[in-house]
Chains A and B, each alone.
Chain A
Amino acid sequence: MLDATLRLETPEGVDLALAPAGPVVRGLAASIDGLITWGGSILALIALSSAGRTGTGVSLLLLFGVQWFYPVLFEVLGGGRTPGKRAMGLRVIDADATPIGWNASLVRNLLRVVDLLPAFYAAGLVSMLVGSRFQRLGDLVAGTLVVHAPSVGPPPRDGPASDDRLGARSCPVLVRAADQRAILAWAERRGQLSDERAVELSDLLAPLTGAVGEAGRDELVRIANGIRGST
Protein backbone atom coordinates (compact mmCIF):
# COMPACT_ATOMS: atom_id res chain seq x y z
CA MET A 1 0.00 0.00 0.00
CA LEU A 2 0.95 3.63 -0.30
CA ASP A 3 3.16 5.24 2.28
CA ALA A 4 0.97 8.28 2.81
CA THR A 5 -2.07 6.29 3.86
CA LEU A 6 -4.09 7.15 6.90
CA ARG A 7 -6.09 4.44 8.66
CA LEU A 8 -9.37 5.34 10.22
CA GLU A 9 -11.71 3.07 12.11
CA THR A 10 -15.39 3.75 11.54
CA PRO A 11 -18.30 3.04 13.90
CA GLU A 12 -18.99 -0.02 11.75
CA GLY A 13 -15.65 -1.38 12.87
CA VAL A 14 -13.88 -1.37 9.54
CA ASP A 15 -10.61 0.35 8.72
CA LEU A 16 -10.88 2.91 5.96
CA ALA A 17 -7.77 4.02 4.10
CA LEU A 18 -7.44 7.73 3.33
CA ALA A 19 -4.80 9.29 1.11
CA PRO A 20 -3.96 12.82 2.38
CA ALA A 21 -2.99 15.18 -0.42
CA GLY A 22 0.46 16.73 -0.44
CA PRO A 23 1.59 20.33 -0.89
CA VAL A 24 2.17 20.23 -4.64
CA VAL A 25 -1.26 19.05 -5.73
CA ARG A 26 -2.91 21.33 -3.18
CA GLY A 27 -0.84 24.24 -4.41
CA LEU A 28 -2.08 23.54 -7.93
CA ALA A 29 -5.67 23.39 -6.71
CA ALA A 30 -5.19 26.68 -4.86
CA SER A 31 -3.73 28.23 -8.01
CA ILE A 32 -6.78 27.19 -10.03
CA ASP A 33 -9.08 28.65 -7.38
CA GLY A 34 -6.96 31.79 -7.34
CA LEU A 35 -7.26 32.16 -11.10
CA ILE A 36 -11.04 31.71 -10.92
CA THR A 37 -11.55 34.17 -8.06
CA TRP A 38 -9.15 36.81 -9.34
CA GLY A 39 -10.27 36.47 -12.94
CA GLY A 40 -13.93 36.54 -11.96
CA SER A 41 -13.44 39.52 -9.64
CA ILE A 42 -11.57 41.52 -12.28
CA LEU A 43 -14.21 40.84 -14.92
CA ALA A 44 -16.98 41.79 -12.48
CA LEU A 45 -15.17 44.96 -11.44
CA ILE A 46 -14.75 45.99 -15.07
CA ALA A 47 -18.43 45.33 -15.73
CA LEU A 48 -19.50 47.27 -12.62
CA SER A 49 -17.07 50.16 -13.04
CA SER A 50 -19.49 51.96 -15.33
CA ALA A 51 -22.31 51.81 -12.78
CA GLY A 52 -21.04 54.65 -10.61
CA ARG A 53 -21.31 54.50 -6.83
CA THR A 54 -23.90 51.74 -6.84
CA GLY A 55 -21.40 49.74 -8.87
CA THR A 56 -18.64 50.44 -6.36
CA GLY A 57 -20.86 49.31 -3.50
CA VAL A 58 -21.85 46.11 -5.25
CA SER A 59 -18.26 45.35 -6.24
CA LEU A 60 -17.05 45.78 -2.67
CA LEU A 61 -19.72 43.37 -1.46
CA LEU A 62 -18.71 40.98 -4.22
CA LEU A 63 -15.02 41.24 -3.36
CA PHE A 64 -15.84 40.57 0.26
CA GLY A 65 -17.92 37.53 -0.59
CA VAL A 66 -15.37 36.07 -2.97
CA GLN A 67 -12.42 36.72 -0.71
CA TRP A 68 -13.85 35.10 2.41
CA PHE A 69 -16.75 32.86 1.40
CA TYR A 70 -15.86 31.39 -2.00
CA PRO A 71 -14.05 28.40 -0.45
CA VAL A 72 -16.55 28.03 2.41
CA LEU A 73 -19.60 27.85 0.16
CA PHE A 74 -18.00 25.40 -2.26
CA GLU A 75 -16.60 23.21 0.50
CA VAL A 76 -19.83 22.90 2.44
CA LEU A 77 -22.36 22.81 -0.39
CA GLY A 78 -20.15 21.15 -3.00
CA GLY A 79 -19.19 18.07 -1.01
CA GLY A 80 -15.82 19.41 0.17
CA ARG A 81 -14.64 20.49 -3.24
CA THR A 82 -13.83 23.94 -4.59
CA PRO A 83 -13.49 24.00 -8.39
CA GLY A 84 -9.71 23.83 -8.01
CA LYS A 85 -9.91 20.80 -5.74
CA ARG A 86 -12.42 19.17 -8.07
CA ALA A 87 -10.03 19.64 -10.96
CA MET A 88 -7.21 18.03 -8.99
CA GLY A 89 -9.41 15.24 -7.60
CA LEU A 90 -9.22 16.45 -4.00
CA ARG A 91 -11.79 16.74 -1.24
CA VAL A 92 -11.82 18.39 2.19
CA ILE A 93 -13.21 16.19 4.93
CA ASP A 94 -13.40 16.18 8.69
CA ALA A 95 -10.64 14.16 10.29
CA ASP A 96 -13.23 11.40 10.91
CA ALA A 97 -13.93 11.25 7.14
CA THR A 98 -17.37 12.82 7.45
CA PRO A 99 -18.23 15.79 5.22
CA ILE A 100 -17.01 19.19 6.38
CA GLY A 101 -19.55 21.48 8.09
CA TRP A 102 -19.95 25.26 8.19
CA ASN A 103 -17.92 25.82 11.36
CA ALA A 104 -14.90 23.75 10.36
CA SER A 105 -14.88 25.22 6.88
CA LEU A 106 -15.01 28.81 8.16
CA VAL A 107 -12.20 28.10 10.65
CA ARG A 108 -9.86 26.62 8.07
CA ASN A 109 -10.55 29.33 5.52
CA LEU A 110 -10.28 32.29 7.90
CA LEU A 111 -6.99 30.94 9.22
CA ARG A 112 -5.72 30.84 5.66
CA VAL A 113 -4.43 34.39 6.27
CA VAL A 114 -2.07 32.94 8.88
CA ASP A 115 -1.01 30.08 6.60
CA LEU A 116 -0.11 32.64 3.96
CA LEU A 117 2.41 34.28 6.31
CA PRO A 118 5.04 35.51 5.72
CA ALA A 119 4.55 34.88 2.00
CA PHE A 120 3.34 32.21 -0.42
CA TYR A 121 1.83 29.83 2.16
CA ALA A 122 5.21 29.45 3.90
CA ALA A 123 3.67 28.84 7.34
CA GLY A 124 1.15 26.43 5.87
CA LEU A 125 3.87 24.54 4.00
CA VAL A 126 5.98 24.11 7.12
CA SER A 127 2.94 22.92 9.03
CA MET A 128 2.10 20.41 6.29
CA LEU A 129 5.61 19.02 6.16
CA VAL A 130 6.03 18.77 9.93
CA GLY A 131 2.85 16.80 10.51
CA SER A 132 2.10 13.35 9.19
CA ARG A 133 -1.23 14.20 7.60
CA PHE A 134 -0.36 17.20 5.40
CA GLN A 135 -2.46 19.63 7.44
CA ARG A 136 -1.87 23.34 7.19
CA LEU A 137 -2.47 25.45 10.30
CA GLY A 138 -6.10 26.05 9.41
CA ASP A 139 -6.63 22.30 9.00
CA LEU A 140 -5.03 21.62 12.38
CA VAL A 141 -7.35 23.99 14.21
CA ALA A 142 -10.45 22.99 12.26
CA GLY A 143 -9.63 19.28 12.50
CA THR A 144 -9.91 18.78 8.74
CA LEU A 145 -7.98 16.90 6.06
CA VAL A 146 -7.56 17.31 2.33
CA VAL A 147 -7.55 13.88 0.70
CA HIS A 148 -7.40 12.39 -2.75
CA ALA A 149 -10.97 11.51 -3.67
CA PRO A 150 -11.12 8.98 -6.50
CA SER A 151 -14.49 8.24 -8.11
CA VAL A 152 -16.26 5.03 -7.14
CA GLY A 153 -16.45 3.40 -10.57
CA PRO A 154 -15.27 -0.23 -10.91
CA PRO A 155 -11.54 -0.58 -11.55
CA PRO A 156 -10.38 -1.38 -15.08
CA ARG A 157 -10.02 -5.02 -16.10
CA ASP A 158 -7.11 -6.57 -14.25
CA GLY A 159 -4.32 -8.01 -16.35
CA PRO A 160 -4.65 -9.19 -19.95
CA ALA A 161 -7.77 -11.23 -20.73
CA SER A 162 -5.59 -14.04 -22.07
CA ASP A 163 -4.44 -14.68 -18.48
CA ASP A 164 -7.62 -16.58 -17.68
CA ARG A 165 -6.96 -19.05 -20.48
CA LEU A 166 -3.59 -19.99 -19.03
CA GLY A 167 -5.38 -22.02 -16.41
CA ALA A 168 -4.69 -22.18 -12.71
CA ARG A 169 -2.53 -24.19 -10.41
CA SER A 170 -2.04 -24.18 -6.70
CA CYS A 171 1.05 -22.65 -5.23
CA PRO A 172 3.79 -25.28 -4.80
CA VAL A 173 4.79 -23.98 -1.38
CA LEU A 174 2.85 -22.25 1.36
CA VAL A 175 3.43 -18.50 0.96
CA ARG A 176 2.79 -15.84 3.55
CA ALA A 177 -0.32 -13.69 3.20
CA ALA A 178 1.69 -10.58 2.32
CA ASP A 179 3.55 -12.47 -0.43
CA GLN A 180 0.25 -13.74 -1.73
CA ARG A 181 -0.93 -10.15 -2.04
CA ALA A 182 2.26 -9.20 -3.85
CA ILE A 183 1.73 -11.95 -6.42
CA LEU A 184 -1.86 -10.82 -6.96
CA ALA A 185 -0.76 -7.20 -7.28
CA TRP A 186 1.80 -8.24 -9.90
CA ALA A 187 -0.83 -10.10 -11.91
CA GLU A 188 -3.26 -7.19 -11.75
CA ARG A 189 -0.72 -4.58 -12.72
CA ARG A 190 0.67 -6.65 -15.59
CA GLY A 191 -1.50 -4.76 -18.06
CA GLN A 192 0.32 -1.54 -17.16
CA LEU A 193 3.81 -3.05 -17.17
CA SER A 194 5.93 -3.66 -20.22
CA ASP A 195 6.35 -7.34 -20.89
CA GLU A 196 10.10 -7.09 -20.21
CA ARG A 197 9.44 -5.60 -16.79
CA ALA A 198 6.82 -8.24 -15.99
CA VAL A 199 9.29 -10.97 -16.90
CA GLU A 200 12.01 -9.27 -14.90
CA LEU A 201 9.79 -9.34 -11.85
CA SER A 202 8.63 -12.92 -12.35
CA ASP A 203 12.26 -14.01 -12.72
CA LEU A 204 12.75 -13.00 -9.09
CA LEU A 205 10.39 -15.81 -8.20
CA ALA A 206 12.19 -18.40 -10.32
CA PRO A 207 12.67 -20.61 -7.21
CA LEU A 208 8.90 -20.68 -6.87
CA THR A 209 7.91 -21.08 -10.50
CA GLY A 210 10.87 -23.25 -11.46
CA ALA A 211 11.38 -21.39 -14.71
CA VAL A 212 12.71 -18.09 -16.04
CA GLY A 213 11.65 -15.90 -18.94
CA GLU A 214 8.23 -16.21 -20.51
CA ALA A 215 7.69 -19.70 -19.12
CA GLY A 216 8.25 -18.36 -15.61
CA ARG A 217 5.91 -15.47 -16.26
CA ASP A 218 3.10 -17.74 -17.43
CA GLU A 219 3.66 -20.02 -14.48
CA LEU A 220 3.32 -17.08 -12.08
CA VAL A 221 0.09 -16.04 -13.82
CA ARG A 222 -1.23 -19.56 -13.23
CA ILE A 223 -0.27 -19.35 -9.57
CA ALA A 224 -2.02 -15.98 -9.28
CA ASN A 225 -5.10 -17.47 -10.92
CA GLY A 226 -4.94 -20.29 -8.42
CA ILE A 227 -4.83 -17.90 -5.49
CA ARG A 228 -7.70 -15.82 -6.82
CA GLY A 229 -9.71 -18.90 -7.70
CA SER A 230 -11.65 -19.61 -10.85
CA THR A 231 -15.09 -18.23 -11.39
Chain B
Amino acid sequence: MKQRAFEAAHEARWSEFERLIEELDRRGRASPPRALQDRLAEFPGLYRRICHDLAVASERRYSPRLVDRLNRLALAGHRILYVHDLALASRVTRFLARDFARAVRRDRRPILVALALFVGPALVFFVAVGLAPELVYSLMTPDRVREFEAMYDPAATRIGSNRESAEDLMMFGFYVYNNVGIAFRAFAGGLVLGLGSVVVLVLNGVLLGGVAAHIGHLGFEQTFFSFVIGHGAFELTAIVISGAAGLELGWALVAPGPRSRLEALRRAGARAIELVWGVFAMLLAAALIEAFWSSKTNVDASLKFVVGALLWLGVLAWLGLAGRRGAGTSS
Protein backbone atom coordinates (compact mmCIF):
# COMPACT_ATOMS: atom_id res chain seq x y z
CA MET B 1 0.00 0.00 0.00
CA LYS B 2 1.32 3.41 -0.94
CA GLN B 3 1.64 6.05 1.72
CA ARG B 4 -1.13 8.30 0.38
CA ALA B 5 -3.65 5.49 0.44
CA PHE B 6 -2.54 4.51 3.93
CA GLU B 7 -2.98 8.08 5.13
CA ALA B 8 -6.39 8.43 3.50
CA ALA B 9 -7.58 5.18 5.05
CA HIS B 10 -6.58 6.04 8.62
CA GLU B 11 -6.63 9.83 8.86
CA ALA B 12 -10.01 9.87 10.62
CA ARG B 13 -8.75 7.60 13.38
CA TRP B 14 -5.57 9.63 13.91
CA SER B 15 -7.32 12.94 14.21
CA GLU B 16 -9.92 11.46 16.55
CA PHE B 17 -7.10 10.20 18.77
CA GLU B 18 -5.48 13.60 18.61
CA ARG B 19 -8.66 15.32 19.76
CA LEU B 20 -9.10 12.81 22.57
CA ILE B 21 -5.57 13.38 23.84
CA GLU B 22 -5.86 17.15 23.68
CA GLU B 23 -9.13 17.03 25.59
CA LEU B 24 -7.74 14.69 28.25
CA ASP B 25 -4.68 16.86 28.68
CA ARG B 26 -6.82 19.95 29.04
CA ARG B 27 -9.36 18.59 31.52
CA GLY B 28 -7.16 16.26 33.51
CA ARG B 29 -7.87 12.62 34.02
CA ALA B 30 -9.17 12.76 37.56
CA SER B 31 -12.82 13.52 36.83
CA PRO B 32 -13.58 13.57 33.13
CA PRO B 33 -17.10 14.66 32.18
CA ARG B 34 -19.62 11.98 31.30
CA ALA B 35 -19.37 12.52 27.57
CA LEU B 36 -15.64 11.94 27.76
CA GLN B 37 -15.94 8.88 29.97
CA ASP B 38 -17.71 6.93 27.26
CA ARG B 39 -15.00 7.71 24.78
CA LEU B 40 -12.42 6.83 27.42
CA ALA B 41 -13.54 3.21 27.16
CA GLU B 42 -12.42 3.20 23.54
CA PHE B 43 -9.03 4.61 24.40
CA PRO B 44 -7.00 1.39 24.85
CA GLY B 45 -8.28 -0.08 21.61
CA LEU B 46 -7.61 3.14 19.74
CA TYR B 47 -4.15 3.30 21.22
CA ARG B 48 -3.35 -0.24 20.09
CA ARG B 49 -4.44 0.65 16.56
CA ILE B 50 -2.13 3.68 16.61
CA CYS B 51 0.75 1.46 17.74
CA HIS B 52 -0.05 -0.88 14.89
CA ASP B 53 -0.11 1.99 12.40
CA LEU B 54 3.23 3.23 13.69
CA ALA B 55 4.83 -0.18 13.32
CA VAL B 56 3.45 -0.57 9.80
CA ALA B 57 4.45 2.94 8.76
CA SER B 58 8.02 2.61 9.91
CA GLU B 59 8.36 -0.92 8.54
CA ARG B 60 7.16 0.24 5.10
CA ARG B 61 9.56 3.21 5.21
CA TYR B 62 6.85 5.80 4.87
CA SER B 63 8.01 9.40 5.04
CA PRO B 64 9.70 10.66 8.19
CA ARG B 65 6.97 13.22 8.79
CA LEU B 66 4.26 10.57 8.93
CA VAL B 67 6.31 8.24 11.12
CA ASP B 68 7.15 11.15 13.39
CA ARG B 69 3.49 12.10 13.71
CA LEU B 70 2.44 8.56 14.60
CA ASN B 71 5.32 8.33 17.05
CA ARG B 72 4.08 11.45 18.82
CA LEU B 73 0.57 10.02 18.95
CA ALA B 74 1.78 6.71 20.35
CA LEU B 75 3.97 8.45 22.93
CA ALA B 76 1.07 10.57 24.16
CA GLY B 77 -1.19 7.51 24.28
CA HIS B 78 1.45 5.58 26.20
CA ARG B 79 1.75 8.44 28.68
CA ILE B 80 -2.01 8.53 29.26
CA LEU B 81 -2.65 4.78 29.32
CA TYR B 82 0.13 3.84 31.70
CA VAL B 83 -0.64 6.46 34.33
CA HIS B 84 0.34 5.74 37.93
CA ASP B 85 -2.24 5.43 40.65
CA LEU B 86 -2.55 8.98 41.91
CA ALA B 87 -5.36 8.55 44.42
CA LEU B 88 -3.44 10.33 47.08
CA ALA B 89 -5.53 10.12 50.25
CA SER B 90 -5.82 6.35 50.31
CA ARG B 91 -2.16 5.91 49.49
CA VAL B 92 -1.10 8.24 52.31
CA THR B 93 -3.14 6.42 54.94
CA ARG B 94 -1.98 3.04 53.68
CA PHE B 95 1.60 4.25 53.76
CA LEU B 96 1.43 5.60 57.30
CA ALA B 97 -0.58 2.70 58.66
CA ARG B 98 1.46 -0.05 57.09
CA ASP B 99 4.08 0.49 54.43
CA PHE B 100 6.37 2.93 56.21
CA ALA B 101 6.78 0.73 59.28
CA ARG B 102 7.46 -2.21 56.98
CA ALA B 103 10.09 -0.21 55.14
CA VAL B 104 11.75 0.71 58.43
CA ARG B 105 11.92 -2.92 59.52
CA ARG B 106 13.13 -4.02 56.09
CA ASP B 107 15.95 -1.45 56.25
CA ARG B 108 16.85 -2.07 59.89
CA ARG B 109 20.52 -2.63 59.13
CA PRO B 110 21.28 0.81 57.66
CA ILE B 111 19.07 2.28 60.38
CA LEU B 112 21.11 0.56 63.10
CA VAL B 113 24.31 1.87 61.49
CA ALA B 114 22.84 5.38 61.39
CA LEU B 115 21.73 5.01 65.00
CA ALA B 116 25.29 4.11 66.01
CA LEU B 117 26.66 7.08 64.06
CA PHE B 118 24.25 9.35 65.92
CA VAL B 119 24.20 7.91 69.44
CA GLY B 120 27.93 7.07 69.55
CA PRO B 121 29.18 10.65 69.15
CA ALA B 122 26.36 11.88 71.39
CA LEU B 123 27.47 9.60 74.25
CA VAL B 124 31.15 10.41 73.73
CA PHE B 125 30.52 14.13 73.93
CA PHE B 126 28.04 13.79 76.77
CA VAL B 127 30.78 12.14 78.80
CA ALA B 128 33.52 14.43 77.49
CA VAL B 129 31.68 17.66 78.26
CA GLY B 130 30.63 16.15 81.57
CA LEU B 131 34.29 15.66 82.50
CA ALA B 132 35.63 18.85 80.93
CA PRO B 133 32.86 21.50 80.83
CA GLU B 134 34.93 24.01 78.85
CA LEU B 135 34.85 21.61 75.89
CA VAL B 136 31.38 22.90 74.97
CA TYR B 137 33.02 26.09 73.68
CA SER B 138 34.89 24.14 71.06
CA LEU B 139 31.55 22.81 69.78
CA MET B 140 29.91 26.19 69.27
CA THR B 141 30.44 29.88 69.74
CA PRO B 142 29.92 31.44 73.20
CA ASP B 143 26.87 33.24 71.80
CA ARG B 144 25.17 29.97 70.88
CA VAL B 145 26.03 28.57 74.32
CA ARG B 146 24.41 31.58 76.00
CA GLU B 147 21.35 31.15 73.78
CA PHE B 148 20.97 27.53 74.87
CA GLU B 149 21.46 28.50 78.49
CA ALA B 150 18.78 31.17 78.27
CA MET B 151 16.41 28.76 76.52
CA TYR B 152 16.48 26.20 79.30
CA ASP B 153 16.95 28.49 82.28
CA PRO B 154 14.03 27.60 84.58
CA ALA B 155 14.05 31.13 86.01
CA ALA B 156 13.68 32.72 82.59
CA THR B 157 10.89 30.50 81.35
CA ARG B 158 8.82 30.89 84.49
CA ILE B 159 8.60 34.66 84.13
CA GLY B 160 6.55 34.89 80.97
CA SER B 161 3.60 32.66 81.80
CA ASN B 162 3.09 31.43 78.23
CA ARG B 163 4.32 32.24 74.77
CA GLU B 164 1.82 33.95 72.60
CA SER B 165 0.31 31.74 69.91
CA ALA B 166 1.81 33.85 67.12
CA GLU B 167 5.24 32.88 68.37
CA ASP B 168 4.22 29.21 68.40
CA LEU B 169 3.24 29.48 64.76
CA MET B 170 6.52 31.19 63.91
CA MET B 171 8.48 28.44 65.62
CA PHE B 172 6.41 25.79 63.83
CA GLY B 173 7.39 27.35 60.50
CA PHE B 174 10.99 27.46 61.59
CA TYR B 175 11.06 23.82 62.72
CA VAL B 176 9.53 22.61 59.47
CA TYR B 177 11.83 24.71 57.32
CA ASN B 178 14.96 23.85 59.28
CA ASN B 179 14.49 20.25 60.39
CA VAL B 180 12.90 18.83 57.27
CA GLY B 181 15.54 20.66 55.23
CA ILE B 182 18.27 18.96 57.29
CA ALA B 183 16.63 15.55 56.85
CA PHE B 184 16.28 16.01 53.09
CA ARG B 185 19.94 17.02 52.84
CA ALA B 186 20.97 14.09 55.02
CA PHE B 187 19.31 11.83 52.43
CA ALA B 188 20.70 13.64 49.36
CA GLY B 189 24.17 13.87 50.87
CA GLY B 190 24.25 10.09 50.87
CA LEU B 191 24.86 10.19 47.13
CA VAL B 192 28.37 11.48 47.90
CA LEU B 193 29.46 7.97 48.96
CA GLY B 194 27.34 8.29 52.09
CA LEU B 195 29.59 11.01 53.46
CA GLY B 196 26.92 13.72 53.62
CA SER B 197 24.67 11.51 55.72
CA VAL B 198 27.50 10.55 58.07
CA VAL B 199 28.37 14.21 58.60
CA VAL B 200 24.78 15.17 59.44
CA LEU B 201 24.36 12.24 61.84
CA VAL B 202 27.66 12.76 63.66
CA LEU B 203 27.33 16.54 63.91
CA ASN B 204 23.81 16.35 65.32
CA GLY B 205 24.86 13.62 67.75
CA VAL B 206 27.83 15.66 68.97
CA LEU B 207 25.69 18.76 69.45
CA LEU B 208 22.97 16.90 71.33
CA GLY B 209 25.46 15.16 73.64
CA GLY B 210 27.45 18.31 74.28
CA VAL B 211 24.47 20.53 74.97
CA ALA B 212 22.81 17.96 77.22
CA ALA B 213 25.96 17.65 79.35
CA HIS B 214 26.44 21.41 79.51
CA ILE B 215 22.84 21.99 80.56
CA GLY B 216 23.37 19.30 83.20
CA HIS B 217 26.29 21.27 84.65
CA LEU B 218 24.05 24.27 85.06
CA GLY B 219 21.37 22.21 86.79
CA PHE B 220 18.77 22.97 84.11
CA GLU B 221 18.25 19.36 83.15
CA GLN B 222 14.61 19.27 84.12
CA THR B 223 13.61 22.07 81.73
CA PHE B 224 15.86 20.63 79.03
CA PHE B 225 14.70 17.03 79.14
CA SER B 226 11.05 17.88 79.67
CA PHE B 227 11.33 20.07 76.57
CA VAL B 228 13.13 17.54 74.41
CA ILE B 229 11.41 14.30 75.34
CA GLY B 230 8.07 14.96 73.63
CA HIS B 231 9.04 15.88 70.08
CA GLY B 232 12.28 13.93 70.38
CA ALA B 233 10.27 10.74 69.92
CA PHE B 234 9.57 11.80 66.35
CA GLU B 235 12.48 14.12 65.65
CA LEU B 236 15.44 12.04 66.79
CA THR B 237 14.14 8.84 65.20
CA ALA B 238 13.38 10.74 61.98
CA ILE B 239 16.89 12.19 61.77
CA VAL B 240 18.36 8.70 62.24
CA ILE B 241 16.06 7.25 59.55
CA SER B 242 16.84 10.02 57.06
CA GLY B 243 20.55 9.41 57.63
CA ALA B 244 19.94 5.71 57.01
CA ALA B 245 18.17 6.54 53.73
CA GLY B 246 21.27 8.46 52.64
CA LEU B 247 23.55 5.64 53.76
CA GLU B 248 21.61 3.25 51.50
CA LEU B 249 22.45 5.42 48.49
CA GLY B 250 26.08 5.64 49.53
CA TRP B 251 26.30 1.91 50.17
CA ALA B 252 24.87 1.16 46.71
CA LEU B 253 27.78 3.13 45.24
CA VAL B 254 30.44 1.61 47.47
CA ALA B 255 29.27 -2.01 47.32
CA PRO B 256 26.69 -2.52 44.57
CA GLY B 257 26.79 -6.31 44.92
CA PRO B 258 25.84 -8.39 41.88
CA ARG B 259 24.44 -5.39 39.96
CA SER B 260 25.85 -2.47 38.07
CA ARG B 261 26.35 0.61 40.23
CA LEU B 262 23.62 2.42 38.33
CA GLU B 263 21.11 -0.37 38.82
CA ALA B 264 22.04 -0.75 42.49
CA LEU B 265 21.62 3.00 42.94
CA ARG B 266 18.19 2.98 41.33
CA ARG B 267 17.00 0.18 43.58
CA ALA B 268 18.45 1.85 46.66
CA GLY B 269 16.78 5.10 45.67
CA ALA B 270 13.40 3.42 45.30
CA ARG B 271 13.75 1.88 48.77
CA ALA B 272 15.20 4.94 50.47
CA ILE B 273 12.56 7.35 49.21
CA GLU B 274 9.92 5.45 51.19
CA LEU B 275 11.92 6.19 54.33
CA VAL B 276 12.17 9.85 53.29
CA TRP B 277 8.39 10.26 52.93
CA GLY B 278 7.95 8.77 56.39
CA VAL B 279 10.65 11.04 57.80
CA PHE B 280 8.82 14.00 56.30
CA ALA B 281 5.58 12.99 58.05
CA MET B 282 7.40 12.35 61.34
CA LEU B 283 9.13 15.72 61.26
CA LEU B 284 5.84 17.50 60.61
CA ALA B 285 4.47 15.77 63.72
CA ALA B 286 7.63 16.66 65.64
CA ALA B 287 7.36 20.32 64.61
CA LEU B 288 3.72 20.43 65.74
CA ILE B 289 4.61 18.93 69.12
CA GLU B 290 7.71 21.09 69.56
CA ALA B 291 5.97 24.34 68.72
CA PHE B 292 2.64 23.82 70.46
CA TRP B 293 3.35 21.43 73.35
CA SER B 294 7.03 21.14 74.30
CA SER B 295 7.33 24.91 74.60
CA LYS B 296 4.39 25.29 76.96
CA THR B 297 5.70 26.55 80.29
CA ASN B 298 2.49 26.36 82.28
CA VAL B 299 2.44 22.56 82.03
CA ASP B 300 3.97 20.58 84.85
CA ALA B 301 7.29 18.93 83.96
CA SER B 302 6.12 15.56 85.23
CA LEU B 303 3.14 15.64 82.85
CA LYS B 304 5.55 16.34 80.02
CA PHE B 305 7.65 13.34 80.99
CA VAL B 306 4.58 11.11 81.03
CA VAL B 307 3.34 12.35 77.67
CA GLY B 308 6.87 12.14 76.26
CA ALA B 309 7.27 8.56 77.44
CA LEU B 310 3.93 7.65 75.89
CA LEU B 311 4.99 9.28 72.60
CA TRP B 312 8.22 7.27 72.58
CA LEU B 313 6.33 4.07 73.27
CA GLY B 314 3.85 4.97 70.55
CA VAL B 315 6.50 5.70 67.94
CA LEU B 316 8.47 2.56 68.71
CA ALA B 317 5.32 0.42 68.69
CA TRP B 318 4.24 1.97 65.40
CA LEU B 319 7.57 1.35 63.70
CA GLY B 320 7.95 -2.09 65.23
CA LEU B 321 4.46 -3.49 64.88
CA ALA B 322 2.40 -1.64 62.25
CA GLY B 323 1.66 -3.71 59.18
CA ARG B 324 2.98 -6.95 60.57
CA ARG B 325 -0.28 -8.71 59.82
CA GLY B 326 -0.53 -9.59 56.17
CA ALA B 327 3.18 -9.00 55.70
CA GLY B 328 4.84 -11.30 53.20
CA THR B 329 2.06 -10.83 50.65
CA SER B 330 4.13 -7.98 49.31
CA SER B 331 7.86 -7.94 49.84
Minimal Cβ-Cβ distance residue in A for B81 = A98
In the complex, are the beta carbons of B266 and A141 less than 8 A apart? yes
Question: If the complex has contacts A98-B78, A111-B191, A152-B21, are A60 and B174 also in contact, measured as CB distance less than 8 A?
Answer: yes
Q: Which of B172, B188, B274 contacts A110 (CB 8 A)?
A: B188
In the complex, are the beta carbons of B68 and A155 less than 8 A apart? yes
B252-295 interface bits toward A, Cβ cutoff 8 Å, 1 = contact, 0 = none: 00000000001001101110111011000000000000000000
For A61, list chain B residues within 8 Å (CB): 172-173, 176-177
Q: How far is the CB of A139 from chain B (nearest CB, A)?
A: 10
Question: If the complex has contacts A181-B64, A228-B2, are A110 and B266 also in contact, measured as CB distance less than 8 A?
Answer: no
A71-104 interface bits toward B, Cβ cutoff 8 Å, 1 = contact, 0 = none: 0000011010000000000000100111101111
The stretch that binds B, out of A23-31, A49-57, A196-204, A205-213, is A49-57
Minimal Cβ-Cβ distance residue in A for B274 = A103
Whether, in the assembled complex, A1 has its beta carbon less than 8 Å from a beta carbon of chain B, the answer is yes
Distance A154 CA – B73 CA, assembled complex (angstroms): 10
Whether, in the assembled complex, B37 has its beta carbon less than 8 Å from a beta carbon of chain A, the answer is no
The stretch that binds A, out of B107-115, B122-130, B163-171, B297-305, is B163-171
Whether, in the assembled complex, B89 has its beta carbon less than 8 Å from a beta carbon of chain A, the answer is no
Q: Is the interface of B mostly helix, strand, loop or mixed?
A: helix
Whether, in the assembled complex, A58 has its beta carbon less than 8 Å from a beta carbon of chain B, the answer is yes
Q: How far is the CB of A140 from chain B (nearest CB, A)?
A: 6
Whether, in the assembled complex, B146 has its beta carbon less than 8 Å from a beta carbon of chain A, the answer is no
Distance A231 CA – B192 CA, assembled complex (angstroms): 61
In the complex, are the beta carbons of A155 and B65 less than 8 A apart? yes
Whether, in the assembled complex, A146 has its beta carbon less than 8 Å from a beta carbon of chain B, the answer is no
B interface bracket (residues with beta carbon within 8 Å of A): 35 or more
Question: If the complex has contacts A152-B21, A228-B3, are A99 and B171 also in contact, measured as CB distance less than 8 A?
Answer: no
Interface size on A, residues (CB 8 A): 67
Whether, in the assembled complex, B51 has its beta carbon less than 8 Å from a beta carbon of chain A, the answer is yes
In the complex, are the beta carbons of B55 and A14 less than 8 A apart? yes
Q: Which of A57, A67, A104, A112 contacts B170 (CB 8 A)?
A: A57
In the complex, are the beta carbons of A152 and B86 less than 8 A apart? no
In the complex, are the beta carbons of B83 and A57 less than 8 A apart? no
Name the interface residues of B16-70: CB closer than 8 Å to any CB of A: 18, 21-22, 25, 47-48, 51-52, 54-55, 58, 61-65, 68-69
Minimal Cβ-Cβ distance residue in B for A96 = B82
In the complex, are the beta carbons of A52 and B166 less than 8 A apart? yes
Name the interface residues of A1-48: CB closer than 8 Å to any CB of B: 1, 10, 12-18
For B266, list chain A residues within 8 Å (CB): 140-143
Distance A93 CA – B188 CA, assembled complex (angstroms): 21
In the complex, are the beta carbons of A141 and B63 less than 8 A apart? no
Name the interface residues of A101-117: CB closer than 8 Å to any CB of B: 101-104, 106-107, 110-114, 117
Question: If the complex has contacts A107-B269, A228-B63, are A97 and B79 also in contact, measured as CB distance less than 8 A?
Answer: yes
For B274, list chain A residues within 8 Å (CB): 103
Q: How far is the CB of A121 from chain B (nearest CB, A)?
A: 14
For A106, list chain B residues within 8 Å (CB): 273, 276-277
Query: Nearest 10 A-B pairs (CB), nearest first?
Result: A229-B2, A60-B173, A57-B173, A184-B63, A57-B169, A57-B170, A141-B269, A98-B82, A229-B4, A53-B166
Q: Which A residues have a C-beta under 8 Å from some C-beta of B?
A: 1, 10, 12-18, 52-54, 56-61, 63-64, 67-68, 76-77, 79, 93, 96-99, 101-104, 106-107, 110-114, 117, 137, 140-143, 150-155, 158, 177-178, 180-181, 184-185, 187-188, 227-231
